[in-house]
């Protein structure tokens, strides 16, 4: 295929040349005496991208899905209740994981094209006097539908209900691209994947975890080993890892965070917004319709559109189904029938 | 640091230039229509390296440790009994994982410097008339001590005892470097890591799983999601993956398997043997002692040696401890006090 | 700068990923016994891109300018007369080089925006009964103005006049992108640069030389050493080079020629034509004007446009001057005042 | 071929990973407004490696041979006399070039295994009352024989004879690896190649030129264009180049000079000396003989040894002939018969 290959899908995103170069290195000794000089500041700088201050960053060799599993198994016990909304493929899959890991899920279904129904969450939390709900799950950016949810609103709902549940956010397709404020919103675990806003290849689950969530690990009965926060924290404290880490990905992450900081996170967010506005204007001009039903839901990283005609009707799976047409800050086609 | 940097540690190993180049690529669409043309033959060719015919290959974005967890959680239920020997840091860690995942472990301790005590295993299996033991764990190559165990012998012990337990092998530092025969030995799950004999960076757990082990998954009650064989198999069937795969690592794996096949697996094994013989002769000439106590235990990928004097006594942790001095087909220092 | 960086200038052009990877290699032994197995077919395949059959290909570590010098010094003697047209910056510079190398140049000035005036060449050649003109120079694609000349027409003019002069073509920005027929047109020396249609970085002058031009070298008195055809031919015969060659560039050239052949040269030309047509339509739609004054002059690799207003008037040098705005198969701005 | 590939030949040398990464970049606009911010300091830093203060650095897309040609054609006129010694293949080739470029060469033959005979040069210079000798050529490090000459001694000979001839040094295999002092020795042109001490691929001739040599260009009648100092200087003044430059090589050169400076030139020289000492001790221990006949001639970058037996007698060319066996700071075999 002639020419430069760029991806216009919802992820993985294109890896900048500087990041590619940063990971094109010989393998390193994972126990080198000077490795901590590199890893300790890196872990601190990951936190800044999440706007996390009091918590701790974790880097697991895994996909974002592994990050979800780490969040759930480290803080909850089988039988624990979680509150979650389903309004797209990824929020659906996270709920599915909860069930398979033995959790009880209070599922709030919302139309695909809308985000977390904060008012319904508020009712459920207020009604939950016994505090059976141990965690609230927010898919901050639903990649399947191009919808950004109001995570700050969910925090307010928790506060208004004086509810002690943990707040988990799936920021795989938002963090580092859309404003995300771990500390302000008191998110307890936020999950990102290397292959979206961090502009790396897939293979790294990037998490920030609040002290409250870390404390919850002490009593959480879910079985875990590979994704255990305590093992990782013990080794990370000195700048090392409990098993062979993908150090080339860490070098790439260093380059990616440097790129983000050089541009400035606010400028990065503004850039994604500007590009998304262009995409939305084009979609409108073409007479097409965004899946995100209202401006407040429109994601600045993914724009999903309904496909008219045969492309749409070719969809065969049940319930909303989608078809890749574009990328972060671009277009993503969805068809409902 | 001037010059070319080579690693002389027990892993990760050096990544050949051709493999590095193969992964230095733009990201790919994980749902591209032509991806299966690449992934399906790749999965088949992985099997050939394991000498696996009837089973199935799996590629998880994880370290080798994740591969162990996949093996255990997909086939066993909490409370199940497994038989395992402890004779080094990695066999120790696998046993530790079993315990944390709720399994009951029948631990056979052997001197560090020896491998799996096949005769003791034979006794335990023969004695287990009720077939309480559901799986037998073999650390095929114990990286910490440079010891290769007799996996074929364990298979014979199972057969002699007519015991139906599954046979699991940790081949992280042996597969693709030391003769390994999944089909002949009827190994049910063999685990390799990308960063050893496959000459890739860390980040990929590579497994082969027998039909018997896949069948065991149907009734295994251990909770799992990220490492679920069934999810992976369902997507793999068509050449895709259940979550964003590290396609650049797959491209590197393609290059690595091509390299192995061009040299010929037997020549690869012979090369490692020749290099290891050189290392062992040097160790002897220097008046040092290998940790592997007898020739039959000596690994062709890792040679661990006892460090004399202050280096040795600087070791402070309890029980055998080690200090990196070398690499696959090289030297690895160990000190016991 | 975020994002992928693409160049939209008249050259160098973007290097495809596969070519980049091909040159990202350790250095090679320039005298390795197996090097000829690589270099001999490479030199043959270079010829096919030029559609050269009976001649010989040369690879000099130099820019395209060095290729011009090689053409002139190997075949001509100081005082020799050459016929050349000036209709852009690059045809101007080639004439300037002739003068500095002691040649007498019969310069035919043509408007910038037109190509070689074949009819004037025909008159001069017919009038030159004494065959004083030793070589005719054709800038096949004038990068400064986006004009492609009629090299076949010049050959016909030579034939009609039964003139024995050598025919030289500067194909730096045409060869491998626009139809070029060394053998059909009996071009004696054609010069290309690595950084245009060959999609490599700058640093390699690529030439094809006819037997007639090689024979001319025997009596050519211009002093030369670095660019000497005979030295190069003597070493090339066995697949080697008279001085340290940039073997990494040869590996890149191999990849580039493979890319060209896989797409098919005719498809490559058609692609450039299609893209150029799009550019020309856009230029028209914008109300701008191409520098190429008639469709028959319009280059399929470079479209130079007149810049209106302040950008144009900012130009201060005498005669047509230009300003980079785009690339091969794209736009190139020119302003005349 | 398994494993890491290292070169053990007299050149090209191995390219460090950091340098490889630095050149693995998309093409750049050679006329970008910010290019001078990169190129102007680079040219200054090249001078520091040569220990050149008052002169000017030049980067030609060419091999080291092209650098020789630039030195000769920019400063001399056909018929000019130069003084040169022949004591190896490369000093021989430089003399050959002089002759082909129309210069008259006063050749001093010295045994292959010795360097420039400073006393003979002193006699010739003293005898040359009419100052017919316009330039003195010193092959500072003769790669073929592993001999380093006394460039400072030649400067003293010139001074003692109060001779105004220019002093040219071929430092292709010495500069950046062996102490070289352009300013102290008042060398007028020093030539290096990218593929030796600068640790880049072949393709860049790197020169430093004194003000005296630049002044000589005004009256030098040798024809030149591609290698013209004046054209290059005019464009370089503003940070640009007269023809498409290999910017990726400049980026690599930046990385290489950074590496040299981080280690410190004196440490680099000491490292080469230490490695060469090891090689020389090994050669002695093996009962072999260095081509360099006395310690004062022994090069710290190349150690050429006489090959005993059949390897030696297989040599068939006339006069000293050599066979590659090793690299910079290593071994290089030579056989004389």
Give the mean model confidence (pLDDT) for residues B195-213.
97
| E strand or H helix that includes residue C105 | strand C104-109
CA D22 to chain centre: 24
| The predicted structure's pLDDT at residue B325 | 30
Torsion of CA A173, A177, A182, A183, to 10 degrees: 180
- Closest C-alpha to A167, from A184, A143, A151, A144: A151
| The predicted structure's pLDDT at residue B73 | 98
| The predicted structure's pLDDT at residue A2 | 53
Tell whether the model's pLDDT for residue B335 goes beyond 70: no
Cβ contact D14–B5 (<8 Å): no
Closest residue to C2, CB basis, from A3, A5, A16: A16
| The predicted structure's pLDDT at residue C2 | 53
Which residues in chain D land under pLDDT 50? 1, 312-337
* Paired strand residues for A304: A332
| The predicted structure's pLDDT at residue D222 | 97
Tell whether the model's pLDDT for residue A71 goes beyond 90: yes
Contacts of A21 in chain D (CB under 8 A): 21, 24-25
Enumerate residues 6+ apart whose C-beta is below 8 A from D165.
D83, D125, D131, D133, D134, D135, D136, D158
Chain D contact probe: residue of B3, B21, B198, B271 with most D CBs at under 10 A: B3
- Strand ranges, E, within chain A: 56-61, 81-86, 104-109, 133-139, 141-142, 147-148, 166-170, 189-193, 204-209, 302-306, 321-323, 330-335
Cβ contact D245–C100 (<8 Å): no
Cβ contact C4–A3 (<8 Å): no
Q: In this predicted model, which residue has the larger pLDDT, A122 or B317? A: A122
* Paired strand residues for B306: B334
Contacts of B61 in chain A (CB under 8 A): 61-63, 66, 202-203
Closest residue to A6, CB basis, from C4, C259, C268: C4
Chain B contact probe: residue of A19, A225, A321, A330 with most B CBs at under 10 A: A225
What's the token pair of residue C89? 């910056």
- 3-state SS record for chain B: CCCCCCCCCCCCCCCCHHHHHHHCCCCCCCCCCCHHHHHHHHHHHHHHHHCCCCCEEEEEECCHHHHHHHHHHHHCCCCCEEEEEECCHHHHHHHHHHHHCCCEEEEEECCECECCCHHHHHHHHHHCCCCCEEEEEEECEECCCCEECCHHHHHHHHHHCCCCCEEEEECCCCCCCCCCCCCCCCCCEEEEECCCCCCCCCCEEEEEECHHHHHHCCCCCCCCCCCCHHHHHHHHCCCCCCCCCCHHHHHHHHHHHHHHHHHCHHHHHHHHHHHHHHHHHHHHHCCCCECCCCHHHECCCEEEEECCHHHHHCCCCCCCEEECCCCCCEEEEEECC
Enumerate residues 6+ apart whose C-beta is below 8 A from C159.
none
Closest residue to A14, CB basis, from C4, C259, C263: C4
pTM, rounded to two decimals: 0.91
Biggest alpha carbon–alpha carbon distance for chain B:
62
D268, closest residue in chain B (CA to CA): B2
Q: In this predicted model, which residue has the larger pLDDT, A330 or D217? A: D217
Chain D residue set in contact with B, beta carbons under 8 Å? 2-6, 14, 16-17, 24, 259, 263, 268, 271
| The predicted structure's pLDDT at residue D3 | 58
Calpha distance A178→A146 (Å, rounded)? 12
C172, closest residue in chain D (CA to CA): D244
Cβ contact A263–C2 (<8 Å): yes
Q: In this predicted model, which residue has the larger pLDDT, A275 or B266? A: B266
Tell whether the model's pLDDT for residue A328 goes beyond 60: no
User: Distance (Å) from the C-alpha of residue C57 to the closest C-alpha of chain D?
Assistant: 18
Tell whether the model's pLDDT for residue B337 goes beyond 70: no
Enumerate residues 6+ apart whose C-beta is below 8 A from D276.
D298, D299, D300, D301, D303, D329
Calpha distance A272→A298 (Å, rounded)? 12
Is the Cβ–Cβ distance between D58 and D232 less than 8 Å? yes
- Closest C-alpha to A273, from A200, A334, A328: A328
| The predicted structure's pLDDT at residue A4 | 63
Residue ranges of chain D that CATH labels 3.40.640.10: 21-261
Question: Per-residue pLDDT tens for B120-174?
Answer: 999 999 999 999 999 999 999 999 999 999 999 999 999 999 999 999 999 999 9
Chain B contact probe: residue of C21, C28, C251, C255 with most B CBs at under 10 A: C21
User: Distance (Å) from the C-alpha of residue B21 to the closest C-alpha of chain C?
Assistant: 6
Q: For residue A133, what is the DSSP state?
A: E
Which residues in chain C land under pLDDT 50? 1, 312-337
| The predicted structure's pLDDT at residue C306 | 85
Of A7-11, A298-302, C180-184, D309-313, which one has max mean pLDDT? C180-184
User: Distance (Å) from the C-alpha of residue B194 to the closest C-alpha of chain D?
Assistant: 16
Give the mean model confidence (pLDDT) for residues A94-104.
98
Tell whether the model's pLDDT for residue A262 goes beyond 60: yes
Enumerate residues 6+ apart whose C-beta is below 8 A from B174.
B140, B141, B148, B180, B197, B299, B301
Contacts of D15 in chain A (CB under 8 A): none
Cβ contact B26–A6 (<8 Å): yes
Architecture, CATH, for domain B21-261: 3-Layer(aba) Sandwich (3.40)
In chain B, the percentage of residues whose pLDDT exceeds 70 is 89
Contacts of B2 in chain D (CB under 8 A): 16, 259, 263, 268, 271
Q: Are strands D133-139 and B321-323 parallel, antiparallel or unpaired?
A: unpaired
| The predicted structure's pLDDT at residue D260 | 96
Mean pLDDT of chain B: 90
Give the mean model confidence (pLDDT) for residues B54-62.
98
Enumerate residues 6+ apart whose C-beta is below 8 A from D111.
D87, D293
Cβ contact A259–C2 (<8 Å): yes
| E strand or H helix that includes residue C204 | strand C204-209
| The predicted structure's pLDDT at residue C11 | 78
Contacts of A14 in chain C (CB under 8 A): 3-4
Neighbouring chains of C at 3+ CB pairs under 8 Å are A, B, D
B21, closest residue in chain D (CA to CA): D24
| The predicted structure's pLDDT at residue D234 | 97
Q: Are strands D81-86 and D104-109 parallel, antiparallel or unpaired?
A: parallel
Contacts of A2 in chain C (CB under 8 A): 16, 259, 263, 268, 271
Cβ contact B26–A14 (<8 Å): yes
Question: Per-residue pLDDT tens for B70-119?
Answer: 999 999 999 999 999 999 999 999 999 999 999 999 999 999 999 999 99
Q: Are strands C302-306 and B189-193 parallel, antiparallel or unpaired?
A: unpaired
∠ CA(C231), CA(C99), CA(C332), 5° rounding? 90
Chain C contact probe: residue of B6, B21, B23, B27 with most C CBs at under 10 A: B21
**DSSP reduced 3-state for A170:** strand
């Amino acid at each position: 295929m002639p020419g430069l290959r760029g991806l216009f899908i919802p992820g993985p995103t294109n890896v900048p040349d500087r990041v590619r170069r940063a990971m094109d290195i010989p393998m390193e000794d994972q126990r080198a005496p000077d490795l901590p000089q590199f890893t300790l500041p890196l872990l601190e700088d990951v936190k800044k991208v999440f706007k996390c201050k009091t918590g701790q960053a974790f880097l697991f060799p895994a996909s974002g899905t592994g990050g979800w599993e780490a969040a759930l198994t480290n803080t909850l016990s089988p039988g624990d209740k979680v509150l979650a909304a389903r309004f797209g493929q990824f929020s659906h899959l996270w709920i599915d994981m909860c069930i398979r890991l033995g959790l009880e899920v209070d599922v709030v279904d919302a139309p695909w094209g809308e985000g977390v129904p904060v008012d319904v969450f508020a009712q459920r939390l207020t009604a939950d006097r016994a505090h059976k709900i141990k965690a609230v799950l927010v898919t901050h950016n639903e990649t399947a539908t191009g919808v950004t949810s109001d995570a700050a609103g969910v925090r307010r709902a928790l506060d208004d209900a004086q509810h002690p549940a943990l707040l988990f956010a799936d920021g795989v397709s938002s963090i580092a691209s859309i404003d995300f404020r771990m500390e302000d919103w008191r998110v307890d675990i936020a999950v990102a994947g290397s292959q979206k806003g961090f502009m790396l290849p897939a293979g790294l689950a990037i998490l920030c975890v609040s002290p409250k969530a870390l404390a919850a690990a002490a009593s959480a009965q879910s079985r875990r080993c590979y994704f255990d926060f305590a093992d990782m924290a013990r080794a990370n404290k000195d700048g090392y890892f409990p098993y062979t880490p993908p150090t080339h990905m860490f070098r790439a992450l260093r380059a990616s965070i440097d790129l983000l900081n050089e541009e400035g996170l606010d400028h990065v967010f503004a850039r994604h917004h500007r590009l998304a506005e262009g995409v939305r204007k084009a979609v409108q001009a073409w007479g097409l319709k965004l899946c995100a039903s209202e401006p407040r839901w429109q994601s600045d990283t993914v724009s999903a559109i309904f496909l008219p005609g045969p492309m749409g009707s070719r969809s065969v799976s049940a319930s909303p189904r989608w078809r890749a047409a574009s990328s972060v800050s671009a277009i993503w086609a969805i068809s409902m029938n």
